[in-house]
Amino acid sequence: MKQILLIFVFYSLALYSESQVTTAADCSNAVNICQNATFQIDPNGSGAIQELANSPFSNPSINPASGNSGCLLAGELNPTWMVVNVASTGTLEFSFGADGGFGCLDWIMWPYTTNSCNQIISNQLAPVRCNWNGACESFTGVSTPPPPGGDPNNFEPELNVTAGQQFLICLSNYSSQSTVLPLNFFGTANVSCTAVQPVTVNNVTICPGQTATLTANSPGATSYSWSNGATTPTITVSPTATTTYTVNVSAPAPNGATGTGTATATVIVLPSTDPLCGCTVTASNNGPVCVGSTFNLNATAVTNGTYDWTLAGTSIGTGQNLTYIPASTAGTYPITVTATDGAGHVCTSTTNILINPLPLVNAGNDVSTCLGNSISLSGSGATTYQWGGGIQNATPFNPTTNSTYTVTGTDINGCINSDNVMVTMLYAQIPSITPSITSGCVPSQVIFTNNDPQAQNCIWSFGNGATGNGCAPQQTTFDQVGCYDISLTQTDVQGCDTTVVFDDVVCIEEAIAAFYVNPGTIGPANASVGFYNVSEGADTYYWDFGDGQTSTEIEPAHTYSTNLQTGFTTTLIVTSPAGCTDTTSMPIGYEEQLIYYVPNSFTPDADEHNQLFTPVFTSGFAPENFELLIFNRWGEIIWQSFDATKGWDGTYGEKGVGAQAGTYTWVINFKPKATDDKIKISGFVNLLR
């Protein structure tokens, strides 16, 4: 894996274009690149802003386009920021450096907008290409296949692009090189020195004397300049001969730049003798429609034409299009348009308008019902139904007031009609109850009285699983803690049923002692324990810490003596407002201290000193749950041991090949002796030879 040295100083990478030098060390200062160029890279540290760290979305560890390593795994190091403006559709391919070099050139590439820098810093913008050099030879980029001499680990697949797209590239000088790098573009897509604004415009064919409408399609464009002097997106022209028109557009681009684009359109003027310039008309309508609505008639255009619409020989209007014609009677009606063009040609067309009848919607008979009862209303005579008042067709609901409900029915033709139904309410008497007590302890016996002398057919539910029948006083016993809702259903003299739920009529108390501690053990490094009270139903508390000390606080903290190297048992006694008590106890164990040491260097050079890299664990861990792993700079495991007494001798592989001098990553997984926790620690060790 790459060794990462974080040095927080300012840096720059200069881009040379002719005699101008531009600093592009930060995203906000990204420069446009438009042709093959040479870079003088500066290895002196980071820029003024740290835009890119190890982030899972903007800088992922998984490559978005190939099986190569992830993006800038070490974050942003000695970078330059640059913008690629796509001038033509095709494949984008480029390379940094040249074959035969050395050093790591990592890079990452995103779509570019005015908000890209903020999105990258906020970990909100995913890259389209990136490369974390597998072979550090200062030669990398995007190409399919890689250019001659290019390592597949250093090159990503080509990118299909369209004119007007922009991309942002951060090139990371991971190895802190001071050198000159060539940059080459060689895909089928061209790049521009400025932002490119895409624009298209339509071609039109007309007859002599007709007009043509040309529209420049360029999303985001703010200015238009046509070859005929017009400055609007759409122009109307009437040339006498075939003519080509050019439009230039511009639009704001990121970082205050301006994108430009150009397109041409041709208006072809046909000869007057062309068959397309004769009189042809087609009539149409927007039907079918329903009785009571309106319909429209439309005719295709004829050159300098006049129009006459007739129904059964009677004129109903003139003009190319007629609107809002009343549809008063159901049926199918043929309507003919007669058109005459400027040359005197006469042509006709007939369209049939279908007028559908309205459905005979019926909401049903009027209804009377008791308050609380459910009813359902159903419409008939149509296909689908929509009721006012928030109810659904044929679905039970509970009305609360006298109301008139309207149903709107729609038939298979989309025609709509409506009808009404009246719902009259019969209001039942509302019961009330009186309990013999409203609070008590477990168990408590309670008598409930119905206060309505005219109540009939009473059904009780006491909330404790018990029920009762009859309107006389009812008795039940509550043997569980809680506040109980009482439900009473009765029938009044009108025959209306009423159900009332009385909330929290009776509350039964009970004290439950419970607590937890943090930490759960004491030892040489810690003798203080916090006690966290989670008791229920109590308002007074008595703590016995097991060492002769007590407390009446709600959540005390206590310091034990560790001289005896033993644990203690803490007891909590709680009391409710009604005088109920409960007791619980918890042991506080004694735990020895976890002690270990990991060296940072060793010298396996056969001089009898410091030959092994051996982490030292002296106490507080379980030797049977120990693992030591050694990784190289590419993240590969080169040595592993499950024995805490066995150290690494600086070799790898089955044949024990000596590893090169350098910095290696170690990871240790182990379990403390007194818990089932799993602990993972890591760091670096220097192998010196």
- Residue 652: is its pLDDT beyond 70? yes
CATH of domain 515-590: 2.60.40.10
Residue with tokens 């009446």: 552
Asked if the domains at 13-192 and 200-269 fall in one CATH topology, the answer is no
- Residue 18: is its pLDDT beyond 50? no
Tokens coding 475: 């008795």
Instruction: Determine the average pLDDT of the residues in 651-679.
Output: 86
Residue with tokens 């800038």: 72
Higher-confidence position of 2 and 153? 153
Distance of CA 542 to CAs 297, 495, 536, 537, 585, Å?
92, 59, 14, 15, 12
- Percent over 90 (pLDDT), the chain: 53
- Residue 44: is its pLDDT beyond 50? yes
The whole-number pLDDT of residue 4 equals: 31
The whole-number pLDDT of residue 521 equals: 85
- Residue 283: is its pLDDT beyond 50? yes
Quick one: 442 exposed, middle or buried, by C-beta within 10 A (0-12, 13-18, 19+)?
A: middle
Higher-confidence position of 498 and 310? 310
Fold of 13-192: Jelly Rolls (2.60.120)
Enumerate the domain spans of the chain. Answer: 13-192, 200-269, 278-356, 367-426, 433-509, 515-590, 595-687
Count other C-beta atoms under 10 Å from residue 682's C-beta.
12
Beta carbons of 375 and 369 less than 8 angstroms apart: yes
Instruction: Determine the average pLDDT of the residues in 333-358.
Output: 91
DSSP for residue 472: S
Instruction: Determine the average pLDDT of the residues in 11-27.
Output: 48
Beta carbons of 252 and 246 less than 8 angstroms apart: no
pLDDT (tens digit per residue) in 666-683: 999 988 876 778 889 898
Instruction: Determine the average pLDDT of the residues in 681-687.
Output: 90
Pick the CATH number of 433-509 from 3.30.870.10, 2.60.120.590, 2.60.40.10, 3.40.50.800: 2.60.40.10
Fold of 595-687: Immunoglobulin-like (2.60.40)
Q: Domain 200-269 has what CATH class?
A: mainly beta
pLDDT (tens digit per residue) in 556-597: 999 998 888 788 999 999 998 878 888 999 999 877 777 778
- Residue 514: is its pLDDT beyond 80? yes
In terms of phi and psi (left: phi > 0; alpha: psi -120 to 50; beta: otherwise), the region of 372 is left
Tokens coding 585: 């106890």
Instruction: Determine the average pLDDT of the residues in 171-180.
Output: 84
Q: In what order do the strands lie in the sheet with 180-185?
A: 20-23, 13-17, 37-41, 180-185, 94-97, 139-142, 155-156
Pick the CATH number of 278-356 from 1.10.150.170, 3.40.120.10, 1.10.167.10, 2.60.40.10: 2.60.40.10
Which segment of 22-36, 72-86, 356-370 scores lowest on mean pLDDT? 22-36
| DSSP-based three-state secondary structure for 181 | strand
Instruction: Determine the average pLDDT of the residues in 125-142.
Output: 94
User: Across the strands, what pairs with 372?
Assistant: none
Instruction: Determine the average pLDDT of the residues in 233-262.
Output: 87
Beta carbons of 515 and 584 less than 8 angstroms apart: yes
The whole-number pLDDT of residue 91 equals: 96
Instruction: Determine the average pLDDT of the residues in 458-483.
Output: 93
Beta carbons of 116 and 54 less than 8 angstroms apart: no
pLDDT (tens digit per residue) in 263-282: 899 999 988 777 677 688 99
Beta carbons of 337 and 298 less than 8 angstroms apart: no
Could you tell me where the beta strands, DSSP code E, fall in 24-78?
31-33, 37-41
Higher-confidence position of 1 and 415? 415
Q: How confident is the model at residue 36 (pLDDT cuts 50, 70, 90)?
A: confident
Average pLDDT, the chain: 87
DSSP for residue 429: P
Q: How confident is the model at residue 10 (pLDDT cuts 50, 70, 90)?
A: very low
pLDDT (tens digit per residue) in 134-158: 899 999 999 999 999 999 999 999 9
- Residue 39: is its pLDDT beyond 70? no
- Residue 469: is its pLDDT beyond 90? yes
Q: Which helix or strand (DSSP H or E) is residue 586 part of? A: strand 581-590
